[in-house]
Amino acid sequence: MLSIFSFNRPVSFHSIFTLLTSTIRHSTSISSDTKSNEDAEHHHRLATTKRMRILGLQSNQARRALSIYDDYVYQQKKLPDLRMLGVAINCAMIAEDLAKGREIHQFIEHNFPHLKDNLMLKQQLRYFYIKCNDKLSADKLFQQTSTIKHTQQNQKQTINLDSNQIDKN
């Protein structure tokens, strides 16, 4: 019989094995509980987005869809995903609610800085701003990108000019 002495009392191998097995089972159940909670949250977010999209397709229900978004984000304190943000912008566009669309845009910039350069969101925001007659905000969305491209083109032209001068010498 294998025994380990703890507090001067012998412990059997079977006791240790039982303890380890129950500990492993407990930790596995905790991780599966976490996974099931994440799955439940994912399904809840998808269902909420689907309700918003269905309501948003009806022009007279777009504001109601936006109130579902507000409840999800501000009351339930949950973070939307890319799909939900896109639907919310679309609902703001259908409702022609410039203030709400700007609020969603600011929310994205503050809470999801990695999404502010997402082309799909930029296009949707651009359509939203154009629909709400805010062409200046629509143009600003792509201004930084076009400035970077313009700078890169100028650098290429400068390099070409420099190489032409070297060839002449």
Domain definitions of the chain by residue range: 3-133
Exposed / middle / buried, residue 16 (Cβ in 10 Å: 0-12, 13-18, 19+): middle
Exposed / middle / buried, residue 78 (Cβ in 10 Å: 0-12, 13-18, 19+): middle
pLDDT digits (tens, 9 = 90+) for 129-150: 999 999 999 999 888 654 444 4
How would residue 100 be classed by pLDDT, with cut points 50, 70 and 90? very high
Q: Which amino acid is at 17?
A: F
For residue 132, the Cα-to-chain-centroid distance in whole angstroms is 24
- In the chain, which ranges are E strands? 3-6, 9-12
Q: What is the pLDDT of residue 64?
A: 95
Residue identified by tokens 């925001």 is 125
∠ CA 46-51-54, rounded to 5° = 120
At residue 123, does pLDDT exceed 90?
Answer: yes
Question: Between these two residues, 156 and 123, which has the higher pLDDT value?
Answer: 123
Q: What is the pLDDT of residue 1?
A: 47
Q: What is the pLDDT of residue 157?
A: 55
How would residue 159 be classed by pLDDT, with cut points 50, 70 and 90? low
Q: What is the pLDDT of residue 146?
A: 47
Question: Between these two residues, 122 and 4, which has the higher pLDDT value?
Answer: 122
At residue 7, does pLDDT exceed 70?
Answer: no
Q: Cβ contacts of residue 57 below 8 Å, gap of 6+?
A: 94
**Tokens (6 digits) for 72:** 């999800």
pLDDT digits (tens, 9 = 90+) for 15-69: 665 666 666 665 555 556 677 888 899 999 999 999 999 998 887 899 999 999 9
Mean pLDDT over each residue of the chain, to the nearest integer: 79
pLDDT digits (tens, 9 = 90+) for 106-121: 999 999 999 888 999 9
Q: What is the pLDDT of residue 66?
A: 96
